[in-house]
Amino acid sequence: MSGLVRLLSILDIFTPTTPVWPSDALIEHMECAPSTGYRYIKAMHEAGFLTRVANGSYALGPRILALDRTHRVADPIYTTGTPVIRRLAHKTGCSALLCELFGDSVVCVQRQLNNENLENLFDRGQSRPLFAGASAKAILAWLPNHQLKSLFLKHREAIGHAALGRDWESFRNTLREIRAMGYAHTVSEFHVGIALIGAPLFNRQREVVGSLVLAASTRGLDKRAFAALAPEVVVASQAVTQALAEPHISDVLAARALG
């Protein structure tokens, strides 16, 4: 693990259930010498990524808030997709989400809720596995073959458990079926009691970068009527994809891909 990766990995262990960590635990997580660990912690603190709390412990710092604001102002999926999901939620009476691919997971970047039962399930910044739920499958099914092969070798057990296929051929066939439909539809798959319809979002190079999702509680839901909303979701995702193809938006996405 490189020094930079060790440094940034500190941020990964802060969660809503463990928001404060002592310095020795941070150093143990980074698996480095104490002197190096303290130097990394000092650098993160001076940069505003960490803030000191009592007894030599640390929490996430104000720099995180500044970056979140920048993301909301400048992120192409957030800025182009927000008005689209607001219209979709208003038209359908369901909740709508924008999700973005992040490594081997999917992160919610924006939501428009019309159902209080979804309040704690789809929060901005919340991540979920890449193998469960329509928000993930709507991305997974459009990934290039070489990337899918790598994911299958790395997460074969999780893929099998998600009923996506116990071998490479069945996994690929399952994803082909989703692509043929143009969207993914799941019920109680990632969260019990939640139905989802997700369609992919593409950049100008037709690379899948996220998904647009319609969500509803299954309590009292007319499942047939909800499933019939799939064309609305596809049309909404195509509107965002078209906006992402604009030259100035594409430049932002290309810069992000290059790191």
Phi, psi (degrees; rounded to nearest 5) at 75 = -65, 125
Count helices and strands (H / E) in the chain. 12, 9
Q: CATH 1.10.10.10 occupies which residues in the chain?
A: 3-65
Per-residue pLDDT, averaged over 41-57, amounts to 89
Classify 141 as helix, strand or coil: coil
Question: What stretch(es) of the chain map to CATH 3.30.450.40?
Answer: 75-257
Residue type (1 letter), 202: F
Instruction: Give domain 75-257's CATH superfamily.
Output: GAF domain (3.30.450.40)
DSSP 117: G
pTM over 0.75: yes
Is-contact 50 61, C-beta < 8 A? yes
Q: Which of 9-18, 135-144, 220-229 has the lowest mean pLDDT?
A: 9-18
**Selected residue with higher pLDDT from 12 and 20:** 20
Give the pLDDT confidence of 63-87 residue by residue, as tens digits: 988 888 888 888 899 999 999 999 9
Q: How far apart are CA 244 and CA 143, in angstroms?
A: 18
DSSP string, 57-79: EEEE-THHHHHHHHHHHH-HHHH
- CATH hierarchy code of domain 3-65: 1.10.10.10
pLDDT in tens, 16-38: 888 999 988 888 888 888 888 88
Distance of CA 126 to the CA centre of its chain: 7
**Nearest Cα to 7, choosing from 53, 51, 42?**
42
